[in-house]
Amino acid sequence: MSNKSSEQAFPKDQQQSLPGSQQEQKPRPEVLPRDYPNGKLAGKVAVITGADSGIGQAVAILFAKEGADVVVSYLCEDEDANMTKQHVESYDQRCVLVASDLSQESNCKDLIDKAISEFGKIDILVNNAALQIEQESLTDISTEQFDKTMHTNFYPHFWLSKFALPHMKAGSSIINTTSITAYRGVAYLMDYASTKGAILSFTRALATNLTTEKKGIRVNGVAPGPIWTPLIVASFTPDEIEKFGLDNPMGRAGQPNEVAPAYLYLASDDASYVTGQVIHVNGGEIIGG
């Protein structure tokens, strides 16, 4: 994978008359499509949290299809996690399953250590695991619930990035899962939306920091809209489930495999000039940011 230098200077003595000739430019612009004969992520190692189901599972499978070995972190859903492993291995890629509660800092360190012991490197970190608990009023959200949501959704982004960075080289990528709720809020998911806003700011700040330090490591995010995952049936009422996604501009919820390609783009060299950005996969909602 190429890593374009940010210090490139173009020869200044080459002015032309409009509209300009590409043939006379020095150097000529690179316009040919990149070639990935063995997959866009061939030889890469990805750590993906919450990859037993939903978006994380779809990302792990797509990454494997494009040549990556994956470390799959999940909480306790062994059956779903084993399904991820089967799909990954069907593409002749390795899949290491790690059942762990990432709301604990020590477990985050252990996950990164496990990835290094198995593969010797980390090229891609996808911070994706999350939970949500509906509450009608702010006064219904206990400090215990707020802490649990924050420690599950946001703290692992900080801890895993911190522990992974010493093992990542130029060209590596961190991808964080924020949410449409970080931009427009959801009345009954105030603590969840708060964590997703924190993830958004963390993504931009870390990207700026690593760019300033010229590490060559990119940091971006994906902000899904309504996506049909187990988190929905585990946290919404039956009436909400029945109507889930119907008020979207496209009139439906999205599927995990419709979100996963955004992660693939950000993980691959196709996005070599992209950092500090968020891709919105939300079925057509027009939002700021």
pLDDT tens, position by position, 211-227: 999 999 999 999 999 89
Whether residue 10 lies inside any domain: the answer is no
Q: What is the pLDDT of residue 256?
A: 94
Whether residue 148 lies inside any domain: the answer is yes
Whether residue 30 lies inside any domain: the answer is no
CATH number of domain containing 253: 3.40.50.720
Whether residue 9 lies inside any domain: the answer is no
Least confident segment among 7-11, 81-85, 283-287: 7-11
- pLDDT confidence tier of residue 5, bands split at 50, 70 and 90: very low
Q: What is the pLDDT of residue 4?
A: 53
CB-side exposure of 103: number of CA atoms within 13 Å? 13
Whether residue 239 lies inside any domain: the answer is yes
Task: Please choose, from the candidates 43, 42, 71, the residue with its C-alpha nearest in 3D space to the C-alpha of residue 163.
Answer: 71
Count CB atoms within 10 A of the CB of residue 47. 27
pLDDT in tens, 138-177: 999 999 999 999 999 999 999 999 999 999 999 999 999 9
Catalytic-labelled residue, pool 74, 155, 183, 192: 192
b/e code 63-92 from CB counts within 10 Å (16+ = b): bbbbbbbbbbbbbeeeebbeebbebbeebe
Whether residue 60 lies inside any domain: the answer is yes
Count the domains in the chain.
1
pLDDT in tens, 45-83: 999 999 999 999 999 999 999 999 999 999 999 999 999
Whether residue 271 lies inside any domain: the answer is yes
Domain residue limits at 96: 38-281
192 catalytic, yes or no?
yes
Q: What is the pLDDT of residue 289?
A: 55
Whether residue 235 lies inside any domain: the answer is yes
